[in-house]
Amino acid sequence: MQLAFQKMQGAGNQILVVDQRNAVGVAPSLQLVRQIHGRDGCAGFDQLMWLGPPRTAGAAASYRVFNNDGSEVEQCGNGVRCVAVWLARQNDAPARFLFDSPAGRIEARIIGANRAAVNMGAPVFDDSIGTLEVAGQQIDVSVLSMGNPHCVLDVADVRSADVAGLGPVIERHALFPDRCNVGFMQIVDRSNIMLRVFERGAGETLACGTGACAAVAAGRRRGLLDDEVTVQLPGGQLVVSWRGGNEAIWLTGDAELISEGTIDL
């Protein structure tokens, strides 16, 4: 079987796009994703966006999201932006796309040659968890869903934060039976934060779109941030806008094509 792919990046987040909208009987699996990850030209991606035919009227496509270890997750903000920018490069592509995702319908808007904004929906907070006991210490956290689970904690200096040590422990904490993404947030001022994210199934990545949304939502809910915040991640910048309450969060950032090709499986 031959499989065409486009390798893209959004704020440093490596995204592999596989377009199977017109394929018949081809379905991804843990083994297949791992096999793709090991192939030349594909190795190094953080998430794989597997495009399928739309499930509802007006949608451009449906998608499923896989980490490079083969685990399937509910959402990937940077991945959606990459898919939208790639589709917009095609002839007569619209400036607005609707997608059917595991977390519901998602809207993406093209706002530049390599830039897109995505409606990520409203955050859902879990107020039953406010602290975690980790390595003998109590850590204040914000727990919420952006279609996928996130745990956000404040750090004084994101550059020296113990992401490698605390990330995997919090990811697999007993309070998170489905594991979670862990955000380490340093608030610079009301309009700027610095962030590192340890993603479940992928480890620390250069960027995480849903993680950026979760961090801003957590800080804004506590009255520490304005309704538009620039998020500085190791791989680049994202802009997150949220008016609060049940309003949707918008995630804006660049996406670019790195390479494309076909692999034999």
Q: Which residues are catalytically annotated?
A: 76, 208
How would you class 170 by CB atoms within 10 Å of its CB: exposed for 0-12, middle for 13-18, buried for 19 or more?
A: buried
Cα(242)–Cα(220) distance, rounded to whole angstroms?
Answer: 8
Task: Compute the residue count for the chain.
Answer: 265
DSSP string over 89-133:
TSTT--SEEEEEETTEEEEEEEEETTEEEEE----EE-TT--EEE
Listed residue (160, 129, 151, 241) closest to 198, CA to CA: 151
How many helices (H) and strands (E) in the chain? 4, 20
